[in-house]
Each structure stands twice: as C-alpha cells, then as structure tokens.
Amino acid sequence: MMESRVRIAVIRFPGVNCEDETKRAVESQGMDCDILMWNGPRERLAEYDGYILPGGFTYQDRVRAGAIAAKDRIVDCLFEEAQAGKPVIGICNGAQILIESGMVPGMTPGKVEMGLARNIMPDRDGYYTRWTHLRVESDASCVTWAMSSLDVTSIPTAHAEGRFVTIDEGLIDRLFENGQVVMTYSGAKGEAEPAFPYNPNGSTRGIAAVSNSSGNVVAMMPHPERAAWLSQVPESLSGHWGAERRGAAGSRRILAEPGPGGEVFTSLRTFIVERLRGRGGEA
C-alpha cells in the first residue's frame, strides 16, 4: 500500500527567521511542509505528523531566549501532540523554547529542569558562529533515527545562548543513561568532550542536543537546515564531510546531494514512517 506523504508543520512565532530554509530542507527529504502562524487556528495542528520550531529570536529574546514563546498556548497544543508520540524538533531558538517549556528533558511534567545559558568562550562573548562536529550519543531520537550511535556528523551552530546547564544534581548523568543526550560536540573524529572552539559554547559535557524520554521531542542547538545539502558545507572543514565537500568541488550534481544535516531530516521522516506508522497503524 502507498504510504501517504509525511506532513510537517514549521511554527512561525513572532521573530523566528529560519522558517523558509527549514521548510526547504524538510521538503528536500521527501516530506510536505507548511509554515503555520503561531496565532492561527490550532485545530489545524492535528493534521500534521510532526512539528519543527525553527531558529530565530522569538519575542526579541525578552526575559530569556525562548521564555515568552514557551508560554504560548500553541506550545500546550504541541505538548498534547507530543504525548501522542508525534515528533517535535526545536532548532536553536526552538530548542530554547522546548527547554523553557519543560518539554525537554521532561522528567517531571511541567517543570523547567534545564537552561540554555549564555555561551562561555575564552576571550570573547556574545554570539558565535561555527561549524561543529557532533557525535551521535543516541540513535533512538527523531533527529538521529537514521543514524547510528557514535556516528560523527558536522552541522553549524550560531547562537549566543546555547550552553546546556542544570542545577538538578545527577540530571546530566541520568540523561546520558537514559539515552536522552542525543548529540554532543566532538572532535572531527568523534573525540569526546573537546575544548573550545569544538565545544563552541562551554555546554556541560559538550551536550548539543537533548530529547525527552521517548526521543520524539528534541532540543538541538545546531542548525541542520544549514547543512541540508553538500553545497552548504565549507571546503576547509575537517573530517569526513569536509573531505566529501572538497571531492565534490565543481560538480553541480554532487553538490546538490544531501549534506550532513540532511540525515536529521531523513531521521524525522523515517522516525514517523517506521515508529509511528509502523506501530499498528495508530498514526
């Protein structure tokens, strides 16, 4: 039987600015995608198989990045959809919203257990833009479903507040044990817990992406939509993807092939098809 195409909604909160390229990246991996207004009719949400909160500066980062949007009613609706197992991915500012809403890591419902704090970097402050290498710590999440644990991928980061922190003692260990740490910053070959600039923001134990316990809600700081095609990868980048990129120089065809971020969107699609739809047709 023909599977119906996967449908993804990208949520446009006031101040997001990555919605268009996120939509393109989703579509490039064989899914349909619509951009939905934060204040639009909420019943439409149920029509979609998964949701992405894209990057940007919702509500001007008032109070803290993501803090205002996290209180929006649409987040409650997303929480309900997530309870049914549907994936919700927060990228960069979207990650900040998911953390501020308590949906991630979501150990205690309704509780904000982590924060995305200001970057700590030697001899500089504020915003920092850099391609990072990432080690897959868990392949059970909706952003790593098509990858394998300990795979190394490369995706750019760009933020001023991306340092995963918590005051809950033992939480970080539990997140690792539960497989809720989805990705960590690494060296080009997957070396763990590297120093700046490989860990671009001083994040605790190099954490770059965290999920809820079911793996369907993920807060990730790196921007996979900026690495969706090989043409987006820098030529001088180290590691596997840099070499792939240099090898493709001059070839329009190869440069149009999926880049490292493409695997994140492939994961989203296969997660929906295999885990949600494959499970007794409940989706």
- The residue count of the chain comes to 283
Per rule CB under 8 A, count of chain residues that contact another protein: 47
In the complex, least distance from residue 33 CB atom to another protein, rounded to whole angstroms? 14
Is residue 5 a contact point for another protein (CB under 8 A)? no
Position among 45, 50, 56, 182 found at the interface with another protein (CB under 8 A):
56
- Report which DSSP code applies to 38: T
Position among 238, 244, 270, 283 found at the interface with another protein (CB under 8 A):
238
Q: Which of these ranges, 12-20, 71-79, 146-154, 164-172, lies near another protein under the rule CB under 8 A?
A: 12-20
Cβ atoms within 10 Å of 120's Cβ, excluding its own: 14
Q: Which of these ranges, 2-10, 134-142, 224-232, 272-280, lies near another protein under the rule CB under 8 A?
A: 224-232
The dihedral region occupied by 150, where left means phi > 0, alpha psi between -120 and 50, and beta the remainder, is left
Q: Residue 114 or 221: which CB sits closer to another protein? A: 221
Q: Residue 75 or 104: which CB sits closer to another protein? A: 75
Identify whether 133 is a catalytic site residue.
no
Displacement of CA 175 from its chain's centroid (Å): 17
Closest CA to 119 of 104, 130, 107, 134: 130
Q: Residue 82 or 158: which CB sits closer to another protein? A: 158
Residue type at position 135: R
Torsion of CA 166, 168, 170, 171, to 10 degrees: -60
DSSP E strand boundaries for 92-127: 115-118
Residue type at position 262: G
Q: CA–CA separation, 215 vs 175, rounded Å?
A: 11
Position among 178, 213, 214, 231 found at the interface with another protein (CB under 8 A):
231
Position among 7, 15, 113, 193 found at the interface with another protein (CB under 8 A):
15
Q: Which of 19, 92, 100, 137 is catalytic?
A: 92
Q: Where are the alpha helices (DSSP H) in 55-142?
A: 73-83, 93-101
Footprint on residues 153-192 left by another protein (CB under 8 A): 156, 158, 188
Is residue 234 a contact point for another protein (CB under 8 A)? yes
Position among 32, 112, 128, 244 found at the interface with another protein (CB under 8 A):
128
CB 97 within 8 A of CB 79: no
Burial 127-160 (b: 16+ CB within 10 A, else e): ebeebbbbbbbbbbbbbbbbbeeebbbbbbbbbb
Identify whether 223 is a catalytic site residue.
yes
Q: What is the CA radius of gyration of the chain?
A: 17
In the complex, least distance from residue 200 CB atom to another protein, rounded to whole angstroms? 9
Position among 110, 170, 250, 281 found at the interface with another protein (CB under 8 A):
250
Identify whether 282 is a catalytic site residue.
no
- What residue has token string 């803290």? 64
Binding interface with another protein (CB under 8 A): 12, 14-15, 17-18, 20-21, 24-25, 37, 39, 55-57, 59-61, 123-124, 126-130, 156, 158, 188, 223, 225-226, 228, 231-232, 234-239, 242-243, 246, 249-252, 255
Catalytic residue annotation: 92, 223, 225
